[in-house]
Structure 1
Amino acid sequence: MQTETVTLAPFEAHHLDDALALSRAAGWPHRREDWEMIWSLSEGRVALAGDRVVGTALMTPLGDTCSAVNMIIVDESQRGRGLGRQLTTAVIELAGDRECRLTATSDGLPLYEKLGFVATHQIVRHQGFAGGVGAPEKVKWIGPDALPALKALDRAAFGADRGALYDALAKEGPFAVIRNGDNIVAFAATRFFGIGEVVGPVVAENAEQARDLIAFILSGKEGRFVRIDIPEQSGLSSLLEGWGLPHQGGVVAMARGATGGPRTPGVRTFVLASQALG
């Protein structure tokens, strides 16, 4: 039996429906709108068997120094042929000299290690139907005029410029903030995602601020399906479980060509925007 020829091509808008079908077959929760947001911020490659999309990979530039490698899927019929490696290598090349970050399942870990990625920490997924949570008075909603301040805080915590991501997030949902006087010192975002909603990113000076921001957002979502992805070291797992969001698995955060910064002491990322985008 002749092996079907597979070629790589730029990931274009007309590939999105096939990409969505691939992710659904893989058990991912993404809607078309979720794909569109990530794709709009990214460059990518698709694997084509004829006109059929049988693999995807994206590289999301995060300023000039960093990138997120994400949305790597290979159709079940094409697995075991090295296609995942080809797609990942192709989008690493798109990243140029940027540091590359990604999240890996246990199945993907050996491949990424061979490509030079090093595990940095665990990411824990919490999701479920939010319970009743009180809203702290110190947290307030803000408008898009505060985006420059939020971008600066995120850059300090993340170590790279994710301004384009924040422009996209501002179109998807609101931001909640904590102020010290006139200065915003911590914030959180929320938006629709998959079969429900997601909270993140959350950037704060300490776990108490992160807790208050999450509580404020969840106070308006009782009974709704909510997902929150946290670095294991954030220390928020038991709190989220108590609020009706049990631990539902996780992934390994990895980096290639990491520079180690520059991050600013005193502010941290307590919740990810998503596993795909960090």
Structure 2
Amino acid sequence: MPLSHPPLEHLPIRRLTADDLQACADLSENRGWQREEHKWGLLLTAGVGYGIDDPSGAGLVTACVVMSYGPGLGAIGMVLVAERYARQGVGRRLMRYVLAEAGNTPLSLYATSNGQPLYEQLGFTETGRSEMLLGRFTLTEPAPDRGVRPATAEDVQHVLRLDREIFGVDRTHLITRLPAFADHLRVAEQDGKITGFAALWPNMDTHVIGPLIAHDPATAQALVASLAEASDRPLRTDVDTRHTPLLTWLKANGLEQIATTSIMIRSLPDLPGDWTRRFAPLTVAAG
């Protein structure tokens, strides 16, 4: 006789660890995403993963990651449900569990058009939009000179202060991982003061630019151009649609929009910090 398994609503939800990296990558692949093992490795060590195991032993039924930035904010990302369990309520159950675990902590996420209705039902509201761009960077339109250089160990504390000022909450545990996670980390400097920073990290056959933090669009462009010069891969980044000058410049230099997402938040009217200087996230999965 075939083995019987408990119904989906009774399958236990557990915390994921770095040992679950391959299972998470398998789940991504199952849903037609790239495996993104490098990114999963960061998320599972800097954040908290949640998942449900398939009782048949066939990997994960569903998974997501929450990046905590203290009581002021958390970010939900990589919400995935195995295709064989799609549209059976398991994703909603996992989200409700994560919301209960978060308590009163505000939560943000980037939602696709397919996921947005569920998140709205769970109390999230749209606060903005983001464009995902991909392409070979051409530098057809040059960037302004803003004194961009490779970051050094002496820059770390200055970068952390600038990031907290602009992002609005402390994400030291994430930013201090950038030197090991990224292939290149650059800062912009003017009159001896750090005015922006950005990282270039590998993701499958592309390089991703993020985070991108800068005092103005010209500094953001200079950081992107410097990082693009160091890459031999197509570039990918996610930019808030309100940053029209940067988006126009990126598209003039070979990048094209491949997707759009809704920036959503729960329990706050808007994201903390200063969006005018926050151009791109490290990854949408980390907010």
TM-score by length of 2: 0.89
Taking a change above 3 Å as real, the CA distance of residues 264 and 197 of structure 1, as seen in their structure-2 partners, is closer
**Match of residue 93 from structure 1:** 100
Once the 2 structures are TM-superposed, how far is the Cα of residue 30 of structure 1 from its aligned partner? 4.0
**Match of residue 218 from structure 2:** 208
Once the 2 structures are TM-superposed, how far is the Cα of residue 4 of structure 1 from its aligned partner? 6.1
- Code of the residue aligned with 1:140 in structure 2: it is R
Which is worse superposed, 129-138 or 65-74?
129-138
1:144 corresponds to which of 148, 153, 164: 153
- Code of the residue aligned with 1:240 in structure 2: it is L
After the TM superposition, which residues 115-126 of structure 1 pair with which residues of structure 2 at under 5 Å, given as runs? 115-126=122-133
Given the alignment of the two structures, is residue 268 of structure 1 paired with residue 277 of structure 2, yes or no? yes
After the TM superposition, which residues 1-278 of structure 1 pair with which residues of structure 2 at under 5 Å, given as runs? 5-6=7-8, 7=11, 8-50=13-55, 51=57, 52-132=59-139, 136=145, 138-173=147-182, 174-221=184-231, 223-235=232-244, 236-258=246-268, 260=270, 263=273, 268-278=277-287
Asked if structure 1 preserves the Cα contact closer than 8 Å seen for 2:75 and 2:108, the reply is yes
TM-score by length of 1: 0.91
Once the 2 structures are TM-superposed, how far is the Cα of residue 145 of structure 1 from its aligned partner? 2.5
Q: What CA distance in whole angstroms lies between the structure 2 residues aligned with 1:242 and 1:186? A: 22
Which is worse superposed, 230-239 or 88-97?
88-97
Once the 2 structures are TM-superposed, how far is the Cα of residue 264 of structure 1 from its aligned partner? 5.6
Taking a change above 3 Å as real, the CA distance of residues 53 and 151 of structure 1, as seen in their structure-2 partners, is same
Taking a change above 3 Å as real, the CA distance of residues 83 and 172 of structure 1, as seen in their structure-2 partners, is same
Q: Percent identity?
A: 26
**Cα deviations by residue, 1:97-125 (Å, 9 ceiling, x for unpaired):** 22100010111011000100000111100
Q: What CA distance in whole angstroms lies between the structure 2 residues aligned with 1:198 and 1:108? A: 23
Q: Secondary structure at the match of 1:18?
A: helix
Taking a change above 3 Å as real, the CA distance of residues 249 and 90 of structure 1, as seen in their structure-2 partners, is same
Which is worse superposed, 88-97 or 128-137?
128-137
Once the 2 structures are TM-superposed, how far is the Cα of residue 137 of structure 1 from its aligned partner? 6.4
**Cα deviations by residue, 1:124-183 (Å, 9 ceiling, x for unpaired):** 000112224667462111213211111111111111111111012121123212222221
Taking a change above 3 Å as real, the CA distance of residues 261 and 240 of structure 1, as seen in their structure-2 partners, is closer
Runs of 4+ in 1 over 4 A off after TM superposition: 1-4, 132-135, 259-262
Asked if structure 2 preserves the Cα contact closer than 8 Å seen for 1:132 and 1:219, the reply is no
Once the 2 structures are TM-superposed, how far is the Cα of residue 259 of structure 1 from its aligned partner? 5.8
- Code of the residue aligned with 1:106 in structure 2: it is S
- Code of the residue aligned with 1:32 in structure 2: it is E
Asked if structure 2 preserves the Cα contact closer than 8 Å seen for 1:65 and 1:97, the reply is no
Over the aligned positions, Cα root-mean-square deviation in angstroms equals: 2.1
Aligned length: 276
Q: Secondary structure at the match of 1:71?
A: strand
Taking a change above 3 Å as real, the CA distance of residues 46 and 252 of structure 1, as seen in their structure-2 partners, is same
Taking a change above 3 Å as real, the CA distance of residues 184 and 127 of structure 1, as seen in their structure-2 partners, is same
Asked if structure 1 preserves the Cα contact closer than 8 Å seen for 2:149 and 2:188, the reply is yes
- Code of the residue aligned with 2:73 in structure 1: it is C
Q: What CA distance in whole angstroms lies between the structure 1 residues aligned with 2:61 and 2:271? A: 36
Asked if structure 1 preserves the Cα contact closer than 8 Å seen for 2:69 and 2:169, the reply is yes
